[in-house]
């Protein structure tokens, strides 16, 4: 999604300094699970705004549909039936999708220059035209979000509607949410709003209600209000303490220089071949066809 | 709704029962989240299933499908026995002190006057004791054993928490917890709103379930107040408008009633409906019936309706019986119907007992389907494998499919659940040959009229004299129709107190139904809609959402019938002296200085009548007060009583174990030939209930790709205990069978369907969402009404889709 008017703060596999002249307010989407009724309007709005159409699938014995994230479903609802207090059933419904980490593992892992960017407002975006389909972003993501397209072998995920946000609109899912379970604004305002929601939940007996803004990835620009903040795994295995995979560090520390060396070697070999064998000449026959 | 969607935000307690607002009304449900977030309101959900609404509730109580009267009757008993009622309200504004006829009895589950052979009641004993002055006798001390309060207290004393739990399967502590929360709203400054939908209507005693809820709300003083009310959430965007306009076989527009075949003279017809006050000084607004009726006839027949011909009364059909949906298909099945015009309706999918409906359609000569989609009904004759296994060669019905527009392809008004008439504008042109419903009906009408003109016929008058003053006769415009139902003056309309004062000049649009006259000088297609399109223009198109009082009373947004009033019975929000019960939520109050009622709403009372005159808030009742005792208005009893669903896991009604006549509703709509189609618990041991999913809208959205993506394939829900017993795992295919047929679908095994203990035995519930069929782009499936019984409510004839019996097996 290269069309944008937001300043880029970080860019995968690039050393060019980022612009810094303009100020941008860090944004956040707050998903209040205690207000979510699982209507899937956000899924539909996401597909409509982003021109996506997933397959008409099957029912596999749960309400989740489509069953998982895909290149056509950048957000899905995950339904969990839990009993935290014995005898008190709860149906926790979590809207899953990219968390837009302040320290994005996908971007760190990505070897393709400019395929993953982080805007100065915090949104992490994939620029698929630069994606080489290596899949390292999948390894880098602590939330298991990016998905490959079988059509073009490129990775896709939620853009936080960076195209809408860039022109002052809220993301499509926020716009459509009927109960106000998804709200959008500055990260500061959203944190404040969450505090009010948490106070309300505590007053209703959810003593452990908390904001999910995990510090292992330096916080996220998509946050949750959880009734059971002490047990995020209740919510379809939301990670308790997400970190970027050590493999990404390994790649950064050893593999990446080695790989760069390898790429350099290939370029050098090609140049050597050109110098010694001359340019490749196209056969006349081939050119005519 | 007595109140409206936005007003829900003002509630302290929200009871969702007989509905699943989060699932079926997700947009309106936002007002519940507003009440919770901004008023610290609590949400209670009582439902056979732990629903999407329950997912965000503060408290959930399970209940066996079809036992809501037992539950709510138990609430009434709790409130009365603990004096947790709003006594001042109830004493002043209800029939508590009214005396009931001595002949009225209730014995062993039956009210006086039962006729077992015809399954109906002679209701002549269900009435008040009248004095010589014609007014109801009262006992203000409330001590007389024949007063409504004492009769009601005795009636519901049987609904103990223990009995409620035995019938409903709700654990006693859960029931008492709910009672405690509800009882808190008996305080004048606390209100509860009740939100219900088809979970109450679709039972053989659905009307009585709703009545019981209304009784609870009256006891608590929660009717006519901000954040209160009994609120029906409508299942279609304009189903409220459908009933308002009288599209039922026994109704005329604005809840006037069709004449019966015994009512051949106009004076008798109109006299019976012009209700005189039953208490001194009351408004008894139906006294104006002749004005409403004559104005409707003038709208329909114009100059042809005159005082001399009783306003064309003879041209109205005179009903032999109610021709509701079930009666239509019964008659069709008996070969008594030749043709059927099916407009915006998919009965093969929506009516009970598919095998009967399909067989009935096959007996027609012709079927005309007017719809925006290729419905299952329009292809009932086609073989669709296991989903519609019929032999087309044996079906001779000729089917015409007339493609119509959908809501987004036409202008017009829609009436929402809160009675707001909202104008909407066309967003896109219809595809292909599709025409609006008005154009299609105009085409049929003009053709029929031409035939009558040419050939005469047995009774041409009602057709030939019908007004048809449309600028384009083949294309009546929504604006023209709206002006017609809102009404206009045919002659100058003058003030009844001052004949020299002209209120509306001839030819002008009326300001409201107060200007209607019974002398033929006004025409109005639907009196309750009057004023929606006045000389000020189309008030339904207004979009000013300013809210001066901060309680969501946006009087300049659209038009709310009646008279742009947003909360019905709002006089009851103030005490008898005209002072609000709750000053922080003032709705209307008596302004002595100005000499009128004023506030945040259009007063539902004579605007200049001071409280001392004693006009009570329930102006449509000749008593002026609300009725706990329904007199003769309900077909199945003046007090709601718990009966079992027609198909129930219990062999007897726990309240009347020895009376088989009182097992199920003794007055429910059942046709003789259908008795053999009902199943018993020995072969069909599980309670089944059908319902909607938020991802879909009825049988339409399976034609829509995005909806099909979010919920692609038919499934049924089964509790963990039953699944274990039957060896069923989530994702397996299962067959659900009733005595009328079967469906096969994917199993969703869930903790959300709990096994309940009823009369000491475990009762399992099977949940069946309705949305699939053999047309559309979602995965094809079975029509769920293959399973449902051909049984209707005693009053509305609505089918019993919410509680019947099935068996389940793994395929």
pLDDT for B190-240, tens place per residue?
999 999 999 999 999 999 999 999 999 999 999 999 999 999 999 888 999
Q: Which is it for the CA torsion B580, B586, B592, B598, positive or negative?
A: negative
Residue A74 class from Cβ within 10 Å (0-12 exposed, 13-18 middle, 19+ buried)?
buried
A42 touches chain B (CB under 8 A): no
As a whole number of angstroms, the distance between CA B200 and CA B206 comes to 5
Q: What pLDDT, in 10s, does the model give residues B541-585?
A: 999 999 999 999 999 999 999 999 999 999 999 999 999 999 999
Task: Please indicate whether, in this complex, the C-beta atoms of B713 and A58 are within 8 angstroms of each other.
Answer: yes
- pLDDT of res. B236: 87
A174 contact residues in B (CB cutoff 8 A): none
Alpha helix segments (H runs only) across B644-769? 705-710, 720-726
As a whole number of angstroms, the distance between CA B364 and CA B511 comes to 46
Tokens of B576: 């008898």
Closest CB from B33, B58, B752 relative to A35: B33
- pLDDT of res. A2: 47
CA distances from B357 to B333, B350, B382, B788 (A): 8, 10, 14, 11
CA-wise closest residue to B527 among B286, B310, B307: B286
Binning pLDDT at 50, 70 and 90, where does residue A188 land?
very high
> Is residue A261 pLDDT above 80, yes or no?
no
B709 touches chain A (CB under 8 A): yes
For B469, list phi and psi in degrees, rounded to 5: -95, 55
Nearest residue in B to A63, CA atom: B711
A55 contact residues in B (CB cutoff 8 A): 709
By DSSP bridging, strand B110-111 and strand B106-107 are: antiparallel
Question: How many residue pairs from chains A and B have C-beta atoms closer than 8 A?
Answer: 124
Q: What is the mean pLDDT of residues B266-274?
A: 98
Q: Which residue has the higher pLDDT, A19 or A205?
A: A205
A31 contact residues in B (CB cutoff 8 A): none
Q: How far is B372 from chain A (nearest CA, A)?
A: 22
Alpha helix segments (H runs only) across B99-222? 148-156, 161-168, 172-183, 198-201, 206-219
Run of H or E residues at B293? helix B289-301
A39 contact residues in B (CB cutoff 8 A): 22-23, 26, 52, 694-695
Instruction: Give percent of chain B above pLDDT 90.
Output: 99
For the beta sheet containing B420-424, the strands, ordered from the edge strand earlier in sequence to the opposite edge, are B412-415, B420-424, B559-560
B54 touches chain A (CB under 8 A): yes
- pLDDT of res. A21: 86
Nearest residue in B to A57, CA atom: B712
A268 touches chain B (CB under 8 A): no
Nearest residue in B to A46, CA atom: B706
Q: Which is it for the CA torsion B111, B113, B117, B118, positive or negative?
A: negative
Tokens of B174: 């859960």
B30 contact residues in A (CB cutoff 8 A): 178-180
Task: Please indicate whether, in this complex, the C-beta atoms of A53 and B730 are within 8 angstroms of each other.
Answer: no
A38 contact residues in B (CB cutoff 8 A): 52, 55, 694
Whole-angstrom distance between the N-terminal and C-terminal Cα of chain B?
44
- pLDDT of res. A259: 57
Q: Which residues contact A280 (CB under 8 A, 6 or more apart)?
A: none
Neighbours of B788 (CB within 10 A): 28
B19 contact residues in A (CB cutoff 8 A): none
Q: How far is B31 from chain A (nearest CA, A)?
A: 8
As a whole number of angstroms, the distance between CA B159 and CA B161 comes to 7
B750 contact residues in A (CB cutoff 8 A): 81
A15 touches chain B (CB under 8 A): no
What is the 3 state secondary structure string of chain A?
CCCCCCCEEEECCCCCCCCCCCCCCCEEEEEEHHHCCCCCHHHHHHHHHCCCCCCCCCCCCCCCCCCCCCCCCCCEEEEEEEEEECCEEEEEEEEECCCCECCCHHHHHCCCCCCEEEECCCCEEECHHHCCCCCHHHHHCCCCCCEECCCCCCEECCCCCHHHHHCCCCCHHHHHCCCCCEEEEEHHHHHHHHHHHHHHHHHCCCCCCEEECCHHHCCECEEEEECCCCCHHHCCCCCCCCCCCHHHHHHHHHHHHHHHHHHHHHHHHHHHHHHHHCCCCCCHHHHHC
- pLDDT of res. B711: 97
Q: How far is B22 from chain A (nearest CA, A)?
A: 6
B731 contact residues in A (CB cutoff 8 A): 59-61
CA-wise closest residue to B663 among B52, B32, B116: B116
Q: How far is A45 from chain B (nearest CA, A)?
A: 9
- CA quadruple B635, B639, B640, B642: dihedral, nearest 10: -110
A35 contact residues in B (CB cutoff 8 A): 33, 37, 56
Closest CB from B56, B705, B712 relative to A35: B56
Tokens of B587: 């709705």
Q: Which residues contact B63 (CB under 8 A, 6 or more apart)?
A: B46, B47, B48, B71, B168, B169, B170, B756
A41 contact residues in B (CB cutoff 8 A): 26
Binning pLDDT at 50, 70 and 90, where does residue A281 land?
low
ipTM, two decimals, is: 0.95
Binning pLDDT at 50, 70 and 90, where does residue A23 land?
confident
Window B:669-708, CB contacts with A under 8 Å: 694-695, 705-708
B713 contact residues in A (CB cutoff 8 A): 57-59
Identify whether the C-beta of residue A101 lies closer than 8 Å to the C-beta of residue A205.
no
| Interface test with chain A among B52, B55, B701, by most A beta carbons within 10 Å | B55
Q: Evaluate the omega torsion of the peptide bond into residue A66 and state whether it is cis, within 30 degrees of 0.
A: yes
Task: Please indicate whether, in this complex, the C-beta atoms of A53 and B706 are within 8 angstroms of each other.
Answer: yes
Binning pLDDT at 50, 70 and 90, where does residue A283 land?
very low
Binning pLDDT at 50, 70 and 90, where does residue A16 land?
confident
| B580 bridge partner residues | B574
Task: Please indicate whether, in this complex, the C-beta atoms of B52 and A62 are within 8 angstroms of each other.
Answer: no
> Is residue B65 pLDDT above 70, yes or no?
yes
Task: Please indicate whether, in this complex, the C-beta atoms of B55 and A90 are within 8 angstroms of each other.
Answer: yes
- pLDDT of res. B682: 98
Task: Note every long-range contact of A164-171, with CB atoms under 8 Å and residues 24 or more positions apart, other chains counting.
Answer: A164/A49, A165/A6, A165/A27, A165/A121, A165/A123, A166/A4, A166/A5, A166/A6, A167/A5, A171/A29
Closest CB from B27, B747, B778 relative to A56: B778
A199 touches chain B (CB under 8 A): no
Nearest residue in B to A67, CA atom: B710
> Which of the 8 DSSP states describes residue B753?
B
Beta strands in B372-518 (DSSP E): 398-403, 412-415, 420-424, 488-489, 493-494, 502-504
CA-wise closest residue to B794 among B64, B332, B210: B210
Q: What is the mean pLDDT of residues B402-426?
A: 97
| Interface test with chain B among A30, A33, A36, A40, by most B beta carbons within 10 Å | A40
B723 contact residues in A (CB cutoff 8 A): none
Closest CB from B37, B56, B750 relative to A81: B750
> Is residue B119 pLDDT above 90, yes or no?
yes
Binning pLDDT at 50, 70 and 90, where does residue A257 land?
low
Q: How far is B54 from chain A (nearest CA, A)?
A: 8
The whole model's pTM is what?
A: 0.95
Closest CB from B55, B58, B709 relative to A37: B55
Closest CB from B56, B752, B778 relative to A81: B752
Return the ∠ at Cα B77 (arms to B72 and B80), rounded to 5°: 125
Q: What is the mean pLDDT of residues B380-396?
A: 98
Tell me what the pLDDT averaged over chain A comes to.
Answer: 90
| B589 bridge partner residues | B598
Task: Please indicate whether, in this complex, the C-beta atoms of A89 and B50 are within 8 angstroms of each other.
Answer: yes
Identify whether the C-beta of residue B600 lies closer than 8 Å to the C-beta of residue B588.
yes
Identify whether the C-beta of residue B20 lies closer than 8 Å to the C-beta of residue B691.
yes
CA distances from B289 to B275, B294, B295 (A): 8, 9, 10
Q: Which residues contact B24 (CB under 8 A, 6 or more apart)?
A: B197, B233, B235, B692, B694
Nearest residue in A to B777, CA atom: A56
CA distances from B161 to B33, B73, B211 (A): 30, 10, 20
Task: Please indicate whether, in this complex, the C-beta atoms of A53 and B712 are within 8 angstroms of each other.
Answer: no
> What is the phi-psi region of residue B651: left when phi exceeds 0, alpha when psi lies from -120 to 50, beta otherwise?
alpha
Q: Which is it for the CA torsion B158, B162, B166, B172, positive or negative?
A: positive
Tokens of B550: 């901060």
Crossing angle (nearest 10°) for helices B68-81 and B172-183: 60
| B228 bridge partner residues | none
Binning pLDDT at 50, 70 and 90, where does residue A249 land?
confident
B36 contact residues in A (CB cutoff 8 A): 200
Task: Please indicate whether, in this complex, the C-beta atoms of A59 and B712 are within 8 angstroms of each other.
Answer: yes
> Is residue B588 pLDDT above 50, yes or no?
yes
B746 touches chain A (CB under 8 A): yes
- pLDDT of res. A274: 56
As a whole number of angstroms, the distance between CA B122 and CA B127 comes to 12
- pLDDT of res. B461: 97
Task: Please indicate whether, in this complex, the C-beta atoms of A81 and B708 are within 8 angstroms of each other.
Answer: no
B738 touches chain A (CB under 8 A): no
Nearest residue in B to A90, CA atom: B55
- pLDDT of res. A286: 45
Letter string b/e over residues B698-737, b meaning 16 or more CB atoms within 10 A of that residue's CB? ebbbbbbebbbbbbbbbbbbbbbebbeebebebebebbbb
Q: What is the mean pLDDT of residues A22-28?
A: 92
A92 touches chain B (CB under 8 A): yes
- pLDDT of res. A272: 59
A226 touches chain B (CB under 8 A): no
As a whole number of angstroms, the distance between CA A37 and CA B579 comes to 39
As a whole number of angstroms, the distance between CA B268 and CA A204 comes to 60
Task: Please indicate whether, in this complex, the C-beta atoms of A63 and B748 are within 8 angstroms of each other.
Answer: yes
């Amino acid at each position: 999604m290269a069309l944008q008017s937001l300043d880029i703060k970080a860019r995968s596999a690039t050393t060019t300094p980022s612009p810094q002249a303009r100020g941008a307010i860090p944004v956040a989407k707050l998903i209040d699970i205690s207000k979510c009724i699982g209507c899937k309007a956000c899924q539909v709005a996401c597909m409509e705004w982003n021109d996506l159409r997933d397959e008409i699938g099957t029912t596999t014995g749960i309400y989740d549909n489509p069953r998982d994230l895909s290149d056509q479903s950048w957000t899905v609802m995950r339904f969990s039936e839990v009993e935290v207090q014995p005898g008190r059933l709860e149906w926790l419904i979590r809207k899953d999708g990219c968390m837009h980490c302040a320290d994005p593992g996908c971007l760190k892992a990505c070897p393709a220059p400019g395929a993953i960017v982080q805007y100065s407002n915090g949104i992490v975006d994939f620029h698929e035209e630069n994606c080489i389909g290596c899949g390292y972003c999948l390894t880098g993501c602590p939330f298991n979000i990016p998905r490959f397209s079988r059509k073009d072998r490129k990775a896709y995920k939620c853009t936080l509607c960076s195209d809408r946000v860039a022109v002052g609109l809220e993301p499509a899912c926020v716009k459509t949410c009927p109960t106000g379970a998804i709200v959008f604004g500055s990260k500061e305002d959203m944190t404040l709003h969450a505090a009010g929601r948490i106070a309300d939940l505590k007053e209703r007996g959810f003593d452990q209600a908390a904001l999910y803004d995990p510090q292992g990835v330096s916080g996220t620009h998509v946050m949750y209000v959880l009734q059971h903040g002490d047990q995020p795994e209740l919510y379809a295995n939301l990670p308790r303490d997400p970190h970027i995979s050590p493999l990404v560090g390994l790649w950064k520390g050893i593999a990446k220089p080695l790989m760069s060396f390898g790429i350099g070697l290939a370029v050098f070999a090609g140049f050597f071949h050109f110098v010694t064998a001359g340019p490749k000449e196209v056969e006349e026959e081939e050119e005519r066809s | 709704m007595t109140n409206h969607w936005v007003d829900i935000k003002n509630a302290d307690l929200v009871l969702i029962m007989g509905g699943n607002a989060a699932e079926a009304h997700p947009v309106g449900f936002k007002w519940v989240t507003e009440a919770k977030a901004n008023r610290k309101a609590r949400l209670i959900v009582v439902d056979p299933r732990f629903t999407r609404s329950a997912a965000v509730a503060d408290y959930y109580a399970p209940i066996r499908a079809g036992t809501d009267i037992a539950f709510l009757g138990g609430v009434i008993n709790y409130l009365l026995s603990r004096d947790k009622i709003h006594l001042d309200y109830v004493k002043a504004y209800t029939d508590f002190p009214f005396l009931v006829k001595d002949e009225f009895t209730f014995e062993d589950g039956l009210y006086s006057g039962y006729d077992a052979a015809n399954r109906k009641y002679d209701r002549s004993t269900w009435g008040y004791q009248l004095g010589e002055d014609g007014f109801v006798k009262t006992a203000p001390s409330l001590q007389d054993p024949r007063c409504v309060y004492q009769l009601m207290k005795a009636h519901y004393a049987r609904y103990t928490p223990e009995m409620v739990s035995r019938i409903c399967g709700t654990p006693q502590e859960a029931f008492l917890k709910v009672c405690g929360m509800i009882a808190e709203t008996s305080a004048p400054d606390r209100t509860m709103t009740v939100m219900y939908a088809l979970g109450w209507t679709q039972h053989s005693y659905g009307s009585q379930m709703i009545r019981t809820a209304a009784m609870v709300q009256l006891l608590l003083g929660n009717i006519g107040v901000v954040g209160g009310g009994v609120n029906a959430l409508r299942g279609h965007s304009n189903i409220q408008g459908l009933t308002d306009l009288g599209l039922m076989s026994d109704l005329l527009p604005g809840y006037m009633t069709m004449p019966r075949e015994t009512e051949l003279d106009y004076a008798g017809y109109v006299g019976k409906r012009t209700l005189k006050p039953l208490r001194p000084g009351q408004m008894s607004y139906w006294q104006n019936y002749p004005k409403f009726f004559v104005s409707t006839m003038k709208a329909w027949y114009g100059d042809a309706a005159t005082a001399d011909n009783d306003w064309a009364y003879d041209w109205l059909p005179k009903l032999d019986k109610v021709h509701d949906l079930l009666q239509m298909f019964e008659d069709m099945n008996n070969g008594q119907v030749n043709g059927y015009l099916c407009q915006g309706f998919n009965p093969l999918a929506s009516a009970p007992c598919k095998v009967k409906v399909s067989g009935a359609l096959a007996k027609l000569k012709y079927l005309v389907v007017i719809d925006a989609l290729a419905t299952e009904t329009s292809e009932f004759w086609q073989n669709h494998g296991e989903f519609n296994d019929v032999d087309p060669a044996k079906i001779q019905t000729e089917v015409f499919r007339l493609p119509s527009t959908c809501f987004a392809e036409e202008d017009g008004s829609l009436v929402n659940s809160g009675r707001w008439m909202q104008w909407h504008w066309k967003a896109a042109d219809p595809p292909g040959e599709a025409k609006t419903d008005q154009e299609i009906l105009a085409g049929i009408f003009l053709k029929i009229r031409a035939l009558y003109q040419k050939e005469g016929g047995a009774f041409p008058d009602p057709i030939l004299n019908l007004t048809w003053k449309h600028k384009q006769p083949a294309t009546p415009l929504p604006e023209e129709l709206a002006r017609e139902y809102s009404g206009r003056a045919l002659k100058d309309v003058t003030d009844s107190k001052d004949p020299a004062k002209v209120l509306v000049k001839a030819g002008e649009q009326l300001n409201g139904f107060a200007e209607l006259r019974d002398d033929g000088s006004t025409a109005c297609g639907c009196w309750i809609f009057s004023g929606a399109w006045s000389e000020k223009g189309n008030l339904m198109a207004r979009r000013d959402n300013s809210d001066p009082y901060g309680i969501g009373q946006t009087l300049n947004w659209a038009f709310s019938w009646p008279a742009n009033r947003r909360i019905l019975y709002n006089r009851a929000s103030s005490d008898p002296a005209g002072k609000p019960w709750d000053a922080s939520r003032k709705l209307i109050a008596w302004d002595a200085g100005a000499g009128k009622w004023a506030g945040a709403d259009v007063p539902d009372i004579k605007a200049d009548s001071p409280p001392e005159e004693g006009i009570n808030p329930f102006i449509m009742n000749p008593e002026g007060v609300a009725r706990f005792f329904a007199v003769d208005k309900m077909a199945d009893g003046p007090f709601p009583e718990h009966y079992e669903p027609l198909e129930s896991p219990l062999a007897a009604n726990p309240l009347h174990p020895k009376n088989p006549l009182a097992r199920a509703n003794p007055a429910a709509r059942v046709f003789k030939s259908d008795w053999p189609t009902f199943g018993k618990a020995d072969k069909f041991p599980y309670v089944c209930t059908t319902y909607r999913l938020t991802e879909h809208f009825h049988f339409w959205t399976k034609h829509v790709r995005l909806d099909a993506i979010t919920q692609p394939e038919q499934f049924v829900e089964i509790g963990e205990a039953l699944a274990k017993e039957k060896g069923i795992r989530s994702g397996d295919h299962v067959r659900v069978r009733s005595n009328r047929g079967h469906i096969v679908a994917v199993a969703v095994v869930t903790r959300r369907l709990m096994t309940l203990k009823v009369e000491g035995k475990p009762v399992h519930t099977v949940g069946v969402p309705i949305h699939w069929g053999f047309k559309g782009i979602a995965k094809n499936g079975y029509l769920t009404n293959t399973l449902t019984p051909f049984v209707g409510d005693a009053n509305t004839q609505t089918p019993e889709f919410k509680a019947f019996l099935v068996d389940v097996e793994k395929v």
